[in-house]
Amino acid sequence: MINYALLIEYDGTRYNGWQKQGNTPNTIQERFENILFKLCGKKVEIFASGRTDKGVHAKGQVANFKCEIDMHPEEIKDYFNKYLPEDIRIINAKIEDERFHSRLNAKSKTYEYNIATVKPSVFNRKYVYHTEDSVNVEKMKRAAAKLLGTHDFIGFSSVKKTKKSTIRTINSIDILEESGIITIRINGNGFLYNMVRIITGTLFEIGTGKKEAGVIDEVFKLKERSLSGETLPACGLTLESVYY
């Protein structure tokens, strides 16, 4: 068995996210597994570094699958790119150690969230969240520092009560503003369901003055989802890189 790892980008606009779930049609995973069936002559599962939700984009998703077929990674890449729709593309393919697993071995991931404070152009409208509110980026930057480090992030997620750990570490949050686009770039060792969109939503509401920065301490203390900010729309979110 050869373990192939793929570096993948996609425009998530028209998909129901990465992960096949019950009968939900039109997932990105399904697109890959249809091609894998053709390639390997049998059902083969592909594992991504993490699901991305409906409408979320990726510039550096990583996924792996095991297959008996012995092909050069370049051929694997070309094969997929031949059959994938135009909004999904393999950037690179390589052979990994047999034990490599794209999700279990991921050390950290970087996501980017884009908020447009001017009307987005027709060229980037699908990749940003547009607001008419005025946003104080300096306030967002100061508040972001409170999120760094290891915390229980359950209050910044859509996770209901769970036995699994909801403790995660955020390594960095960089916020920059250019030409009316505020970019929030977050690196962490893992993210709970909706965590990036709720963290950016909380920072956004701090930026607009709807919330005070102190709310972050409260959410950590009380673990209460109702205190944190709104879940920003999926379209503004892009999975940038996965680090191993």
Q: Does residue number 9 form part of the binding site for a copy of itself (CB under 8 A)?
A: yes
Q: Out of 14, 38, 119, 142, which residue is the one contacting a copy of itself (CB under 8 A)?
A: 119
**Residue 53 a catalytic site member:** yes
Least separation in angstroms between residue 201's CB and a copy of itself is: 24
Stretch that binds a copy of itself, among 5-13, 62-70, 102-110, 132-140 (CB under 8 A): 5-13
Contacts with a copy of itself in 122-181 (CB under 8 A)? 122-123, 125, 127
Q: Is 86 in the site for a copy of itself (CB under 8 A)?
A: yes
Cα 243 to Cα 198: distance, rounded to the nearest angstrom: 22
Tell me the three-class secondary structure of the chain, residue by residue.
CEEEEEEEEECHHHCCCCCCCCCCCCCHHHHHHHHHHHHHCCCCCCEECCCCCCCCEEEEEEEEEEECCCCCHHHHHHHHHHHCCCCEEEEEEEEECCCCCCCCCCCEEEEEEEEECCCCCCCCHHHCEECCCCCCHHHHHHHHHHHCEEEECHHHCCCCCCCCCCEEEEEEEEEEEECCEEEEEEEECCCCCCHHHHHHHHHHHHHHCCCCCCHHHHHHHHCCHHHCCCCCCHHHEEEEEEEC
Our CB check for a copy of itself shows the closer of 11 and 218 to be: 11
Return left, alpha or beta for 156; rule: phi > 0 is left, psi -120 to 50 is alpha, else beta: alpha
With binding defined as CB under 8 A, does residue 87 bind a copy of itself?
A: yes
User: Shortest distance, CB of residue 175 to a copy of itself, whole angstroms?
Assistant: 22
Instruction: From 6-14, 129-137, 160-168, 169-177, give the range in contact with a copy of itself by CB under 8 A.
Output: 6-14
Give whichever of 119 and 210 is closer to a copy of itself, judged by the CB atom: 119
The residue from 10, 79, 153, 220 that contacts a copy of itself (CB under 8 A) is: 10
Instruction: Provide the minimum distance between the beta carbon of 77 and a copy of itself in the complex, in angstroms, as a whole number.
Output: 10
The footprint of a copy of itself on residues 47-76 (CB under 8 A) is 57, 59
Residues that bind a copy of itself in the complex, under the rule CB under 8 A: 9-11, 57, 59, 86-89, 119, 121-123, 125, 127
Catalytic positions are 53
